Structures are given as structure tokens and as C-alpha cells.
Structure 1
């Protein structure tokens, strides 16, 4: 049996959830430092700082960190948020339009914390994913590679 996948844009509720967490994470910073979150480095710094105090039970906060992590990847790699449904289920992912590149950033942080894979070096994780994605994007087989 062939496996099928569908991709759709984020709906209004999903966009609201993402925007809520972007705003919440920005509000955690002192007012004079809130613009830091506008840069990739700033996003990664905020994620790392929040992770130092987050627990595995804070699922929505961890998903919010995943939103910020996906935003950082999107900024660096020209990705955008969508929702994919496949044989694993339905989840928000960042994709590179015109390719099969999709990265499950939304749950990436949460899964690591829940599984006890801590501490997480957010910068190292980001660089590894970014570098692997860039290698795949440069390959001639860019439309054939698996999800990261």
C-alpha cells in the first residue's frame, strides 16, 4: 500500500497558537532586550535560557520553544511553516518550498526534554540541522531526500 502525505497551510487556530508563544517568549525578556528575539542568534539564546528552567511537564512551553526554533531555521534556510499529515500523524513542520525538505522543529525540543536528552545545546543542534539541510539543498538529488 502506498503511503500518502498531505501538506496544508497553518489554520487560524494554529497561527494564533504560534503567535501566542512568539509573544510570550518575547515578553519573558526585559523590555529593552526584546528586540534580540528578532535575530536567529537571539531566538537560539532565548530558547537556551528558557530551557534551563523548563520541565518535561511544560508541554505547551516546550512546543512554544519549538515554534521559535522553527522560526530560526526558517530565517536561515528560507523555510515556512505548514502542517503535514502522513503515516506518523499530523504535525506542524517547516518546509523548503519546491523540495521535499521538511523539519519537525515544532516537537524537536519537547521530545528531547521529555525523553531526558538534556541538557540540550540549542546552538549545536541548530548548526547540525542547518548544515545537514544546506548539504541536502546543494545536492543534485534535492527532491529525493528524507525528512530531517
Structure 2
């Protein structure tokens, strides 16, 4: 299956969007400043759709996403990722609450591990998961980005 890439320069760094012709498979921060993948004649519509919606999110014009995604992982990982999508915009949930939500109350570390393997940043909002004591913990894109994203959502939530 052919994969296509498109870069999006967000206010907090470069994001690499990856998709097939049918669905987005990955949206991750990458540590580079140069755009390597731009729209061209072969860029699938789903990738352009994703780009527009991510751009709308950063402009505070979007809270949910409508493009098709593929969540490739174990059944447990997919359960965790699906549960992440129910955390309301501008709100947070602890790892303990997330584990309880999927019926695996004692699996907080496994939930944290699955959260860290999420490949659909922002769309599957792993940045909304915090420690039980309310502190920011673990984020593959860096804690400073997690803090920025939560503040971004709080600011646009107040504006609405």
C-alpha cells in the first residue's frame, strides 16, 4: 500500500502527516524546520483534508476532526486510543480515569504506554491525559508541547 506524506508547520513545530489514498495513519511532530513534503499532483484528497482540519485546529476554528483515520495497534492500544477520543475538548482525564473507563483499572502503566504509542497526535488527543495529581506527565512531542496544546484549547474554549 502506497503511503503519502505532507508537512504542516504548526505554531509548535513541524508535523508530518502520513496517509494512504483512503485514510490518515499518522500525525506526528518531527524535529526539523524544513518542509520536505508539500502538496503535489499525487497528494491524496484525504491528506489535504487532514491538513486543512489541523490548520483549522491551530487557528482555533476546529475542535473535532472528520477525516478518516486508521489506528494500527493491538486491541488494547486501540481501546485506549478510542477512549482518548471521548475526552472533551479543553478538558483532561488522568491515566487512572482512562484505565477505569476501559475497564482495566489496574492497567495504568499499560494505558500510559499505549498513550505514548498513539500516532494520531491532536486528533486522538493523548495530550489531554494527565497524572492523577493533576501534573503534566509524558508526551511524545515533549511536555512543553502538551502544555501549549492544553492552554491553546483552554483559550479557544473560553472564546467560544
TM-score by length of 1: 0.25
Q: Higher helix share goes to which structure? A: 1
TM-score by length of 2: 0.24
